[in-house]
Copies of this chain bind each other. A is one copy, B any other.
Amino acid sequence: MADGDVVRFRPQRPAPPQTSQQGLEDRLKSLFGSAVIAVSAFPGQHFFLEGDPASGIHIVRRGSVILYSITEAGGRHIQQIARAGDCFAVDFSHPHRLNAQALTEADTWHLPRRAVSLAVDSEPEARNFVFNLMDQQLRAARFKSELLSSRSAIQKCAAFLLTIEQPAGAGGEAPLTRIALKRVDIADYLGLTLETVSRMFNRLKKEGLIELPRHDAFRIADRARMNALARDLQPGEFALAS
């Protein structure tokens, strides 16, 4: 339970990747050896479906994967958006309760359930690693329910954009961040409608909080105000030009 490689808590950010790409790959190989399987998928393909037997741990190497469930009324609820460095399905003792679908072209590493089980039983390092992944999942889930509760649509959207933002490299100008999700996907993630998401994005643009040169790319223009919004501002404090 050493604290050494535990990811530090960052408010307003769900589980960030814990190491660099290469470092992570090395780590996986050293902990799980040849059991590490590379799995890729095209947009729309599923890694697994609800009800499938537990498959083990999945880690995103490239692209985006959504974890969703379907309600009886046919509504889709996106529980998690896993991006490079994020893990999913770490809860490996049950049949899957969510569908895992590639949103973009996506490469992942798959650690089969049995290999994880063996490694965890024999290797303290592996155990620690898996604990951290579970913790990462837990924090992602908490972050999401915090996002959903009692925030207005504009706050949810601002928080969402801050979450998916690719921060600037040291010193450089902040780059444009691609929005890999369609409006309807974002809506299903935030518990809004696609129209509302669209309206809020354009409101943030009009107010100068973000740049939105294309419908699928943005840049934070006023970070202070974005942060204030994404935290929990008094409703009136985000006065809009009428």
Contact = CB atoms under 8 A, between A and B. Distances in A.
Interface of A: 1, 3, 6, 8-9, 69, 71-73, 75, 77, 79, 91-95, 97, 113, 116-117, 120-121, 124, 127, 131-132, 134-135, 137-139, 141-142, 144-146, 148-150, 188, 190-191, 231-234
Given A3-B93, A141-B145, 15 more contacts: A1-B113, A1-B120, A1-B121, A9-B97, A71-B231, A71-B232, A79-B145, A91-B139, A93-B131, A93-B132, A93-B135, A121-B124, A127-B127, A134-B138, A148-B191
A135 B131 CA distance: 11
9 contacts: A1-B93, A71-B232, A93-B135, A94-B135, A127-B127, A134-B135, A145-B145, A149-B190, A150-B191
B149 A191 contact: yes
Contacts of A1: 92-93, 113, 116-117, 120-121
A131 to B, nearest CB: 7
A135 B94 CA distance: 10
Given A93-B1, A139-B91, A141-B138, A149 B148 contact: yes
A91 B191 contact: no
